[in-house]
Structure 1
């Protein structure tokens, strides 16, 4: 990536860059003489002034409090590379009396860490979690200008448009998400103007590239798992051209190979459409899966028989939903319980066994047969087979995705996928057991992980928000100065009082 450095001393006059640019600052703003600054800086000043930024602005706007900023970081793609950023930058920043900052794509500070002697002065200029450092909010600075240009930038002293930060120099590099191809934030090092070393820009740039590479590796692993779990859906097309698509629109598998773009625009799906048009004119049918989408050239017909695709969405507060060959149906509780039980027992269940799993010892086979009859009318007799009752389709479920992630040790993925309890209103023995197994397994995996960020995510997640032990563990794990600790302590006190 191209970078912009700063000339520290005019080779002809010998005048220090700091003194010279102070004069230039006033001269450029007053439009007097022949004063000029770097093109990058002058163009940024023009954008900032056009956004009505006053050079006398004292502080950037505060968008979120520190606790909300941390919560936003937990949900942000950069959360996955925070250990790398800490390992590469924090110790250097502390020794050099600097502050390390991570922002989101809008320039809002999500995380800040550095030398304690510099944090106080940083507070006074608003370099705190939750503050917004975009050009539109506080004028020219490395974070905002780097995000605006999409390239690494160094802004020295009075190159900042706002006078309040003339005592500081900052270097920043944007980070691009390999999944979406969009800039998702910036990594910044800021310090007193005389302490920033020329190599800092190269360090921040290299660290941003390392972060992108690590995200790219994580993405490749996730893609391979997604392919392995959903290859059956693609195979179910039986020769009809089709592709597997991630939730962000990337095609990760296609048949025929080599005849698909890297990405498709999923925006039409937000309006309820079930078809997409590629740039080459091809129209594709879209079937939602638990973890993405299946594209196919046409709906399946009797002339081209294929296994059906069945997705079950049974976690969380919403109504249970089944998606059959791309068509979504909202279910009442009892048919959802039957489908969940059959998904948990792909080998099939007799009427007697199904009645016991749903009703216990009081189960009635006649009742079950009536429910099965109504369910077959909804999803088709070729999908719900009898003797034994079983699902003849390529089945994926949100609760199965969580269970699989736990088995594979991907605790963070399991927590992200688990939007809530499995059919939380169900009192059926089989569903209660699966629900408890899921929640207990997720809880144990988190509490035994020794990962403070994972424990914090769990404690603020709906499945762990009332877990006293999780909040007590979080209090023990968080350092005294972390604002999240006070929130966790308050939560512990409330849970104990209840």
Structure 2
């Protein structure tokens, strides 16, 4: 519309830098500009992150084309940089004010939807942790889960960007100290005085980056290190280098490679890994082990929420592939057997469940007023 009416539509960042423009340009000899702008607020941080602005020329000193020449007619053709809107009104047309506000609101709605989707992915990983340790925060400090009494308020002030400071302390609004630890795409907030025996927490389900938290320090894991820790969690009595090598590489494995990787892992996790045989010496909380427990209790809704996706989907380890396939089959059978809509919908958000015909058919049969039914029908048609 901006192009057709001789207006320009501009999108800027929070500092006013132009990120994108559509329509006729600014630069002709003009007397009066009209501008209708609206801020764009990020639902996650609560901050203004940009602006959408509809700009029009309401009074010109002459005709201007792309070369900047002007004549006395006061109008520009399609090749010009501005157009005469008649008169010298100093206020924009009310429709442009509404248009700018609607465009900004649409952008905010899309941002809010993306924030909600990120929150759900993060919440599923959090709920897969046994005991729900700590309070779950978004990357901007917004409280997502784990504070039922609302004592922290809607947001925890993180101060300077804490991403490079695992284990740093923050002061809460009641004056107490807490420890902030990276967790997936957000943070876990734990009381500073809650130090106890070290616990190794593994997050290895889903398509995100695997991670481990130990001794109040969180760190991303390479695929190989995530595989080793997963295998050690599956074999609490320990494995030799030869056994680990076989589980990872099959008959082509080399124990020397495993010893080198274990050495690197012990540099990060210290006494959490013992040798002869290699084994985990601390309490282990892993999202896939929690899922196993929930499946044994036949809790379809909770199981589905605790399942963000397959176990280390990029792993080619024979042992991990068997565990991955078994968990996938159990989750799917559980949600189909019970037919509970929330469980079906949660499974449908995983990479394998997204196009699962039987699951989508069950969801499509929900009442037409249920938005999950419409989404399932759309997927079945594509």
Would you say how many aligned residue pairs link Structure 1 and Structure 2?
259
- Taking the aligned partners of 1:269 and 1:408, their CA distance within structure 2 comes to 42
Aligned to 1:478: 366
Tell me by how many angstroms 1:450 deviates: 2.2
Structure 2-normalised TM-score? 0.55
Equivalent residues in 2 for 1:82-93, closer than 5 Å: none
Tell me by how many angstroms 1:351 deviates: 2.0
| 2:186 equivalent to 1:297 | no
Aligned to 1:408: 297
Aligned to 1:378: 268
Aligned to 2:307: 418
Name which of 193, 201, 211 aligns with 1:321.
211
| 2:249 equivalent to 1:359 | yes
Where does structure 2 lack aligned partners over 5 or more consecutive residues?
1-101, 120-125, 138-142
- Taking the aligned partners of 1:423 and 1:388, their CA distance within structure 2 comes to 24
- Taking the aligned partners of 2:188 and 2:292, their CA distance within structure 1 comes to 18
Aligned to 2:169: 275
Name the SS of the counterpart of 2:158 in structure 1.
helix
Tell me by how many angstroms 1:294 deviates: 3.5
Q: Deviations over 1:353-376 (max 9, x none)?
A: 222211223333222222212211
Name the SS of the counterpart of 2:249 in structure 1.
helix
Equivalent residues in 2 for 1:63-74, closer than 5 Å: none
Q: Indicate if the aligned counterparts of 1:287 and 1:325 stay in contact, CA closer than 8 A.
A: no
Higher helix share: 1
- Taking the aligned partners of 1:251 and 1:485, their CA distance within structure 2 comes to 32
| 2:324 equivalent to 1:398 | no
| 2:172 equivalent to 1:284 | no
Tell me by how many angstroms 1:270 deviates: 9.1
Tell me by how many angstroms 1:397 deviates: 1.9
Aligned to 1:331: 221
Q: Deviations over 1:203-247 (max 9, x none)?
A: xxxxxxxxxxxxxxxxxxx99x98xx449x8xxxxxxxxxx5466
Equivalent residues in 2 for 1:13-92, closer than 5 Å: none
From the superposition, tell whether residues 270 and 346 of structure 1 become closer, same or farther in structure 2 (CA, over 3 Å). Answer: farther
Name which of 439, 453, 457 aligns with 2:328.
439
- Taking the aligned partners of 1:415 and 1:401, their CA distance within structure 2 comes to 12
Name the SS of the counterpart of 1:284 in structure 2.
strand
- Taking the aligned partners of 1:279 and 1:403, their CA distance within structure 2 comes to 38
Name the SS of the counterpart of 1:285 in structure 2.
strand
- Taking the aligned partners of 1:270 and 1:368, their CA distance within structure 2 comes to 39
From the superposition, tell whether residues 288 and 404 of structure 1 become closer, same or farther in structure 2 (CA, over 3 Å). Answer: farther
- Taking the aligned partners of 2:369 and 2:180, their CA distance within structure 1 comes to 49
Tell me by how many angstroms 1:350 deviates: 2.1
Q: Indicate if the aligned counterparts of 1:286 and 1:296 stay in contact, CA closer than 8 A.
A: no
From the superposition, tell whether residues 350 and 464 of structure 1 become closer, same or farther in structure 2 (CA, over 3 Å). Answer: same
Q: Indicate if the aligned counterparts of 1:308 and 1:392 stay in contact, CA closer than 8 A.
A: no
- Taking the aligned partners of 1:268 and 1:325, their CA distance within structure 2 comes to 21
Tell me by how many angstroms 1:462 deviates: 3.1
Q: Indicate if the aligned counterparts of 2:212 and 2:220 stay in contact, CA closer than 8 A.
A: yes
Q: Indicate if the aligned counterparts of 1:314 and 1:321 stay in contact, CA closer than 8 A.
A: yes
Q: Indicate if the aligned counterparts of 1:426 and 1:432 stay in contact, CA closer than 8 A.
A: yes
Tell me by how many angstroms 1:295 deviates: 2.3
Aligned to 2:79: none
Q: Indicate if the aligned counterparts of 1:288 and 1:294 stay in contact, CA closer than 8 A.
A: no
- Taking the aligned partners of 1:410 and 1:269, their CA distance within structure 2 comes to 40
Tell me by how many angstroms 1:420 deviates: 2.3
- Taking the aligned partners of 1:418 and 1:348, their CA distance within structure 2 comes to 26
From the superposition, tell whether residues 479 and 326 of structure 1 become closer, same or farther in structure 2 (CA, over 3 Å). Answer: same
Equivalent residues in 2 for 1:103-182, closer than 5 Å: none
- Taking the aligned partners of 1:411 and 1:374, their CA distance within structure 2 comes to 39
Name the SS of the counterpart of 1:448 in structure 2.
helix
Name the SS of the counterpart of 1:418 in structure 2.
coil
- Taking the aligned partners of 1:326 and 1:270, their CA distance within structure 2 comes to 19
Q: CA RMSD in A?
A: 4.3
Name the SS of the counterpart of 1:312 in structure 2.
strand
- Taking the aligned partners of 2:199 and 2:159, their CA distance within structure 1 comes to 18
Structure 1-normalised TM-score? 0.43
- Taking the aligned partners of 1:346 and 1:451, their CA distance within structure 2 comes to 34
Name the SS of the counterpart of 1:465 in structure 2.
coil
From the superposition, tell whether residues 417 and 362 of structure 1 become closer, same or farther in structure 2 (CA, over 3 Å). Answer: same
Equivalent residues in 2 for 1:244-283, closer than 5 Å: 244-245=134-135, 248=143, 263=152, 266-268=156-158, 271-272=161-162, 274-279=168-173, 281-283=175-177
- Taking the aligned partners of 1:313 and 1:449, their CA distance within structure 2 comes to 27
- Taking the aligned partners of 1:431 and 1:326, their CA distance within structure 2 comes to 27
Where does structure 1 lack aligned partners over 5 or more consecutive residues?
1-60, 78-221, 234-243, 253-260, 301-305
Aligned to 1:350: 240
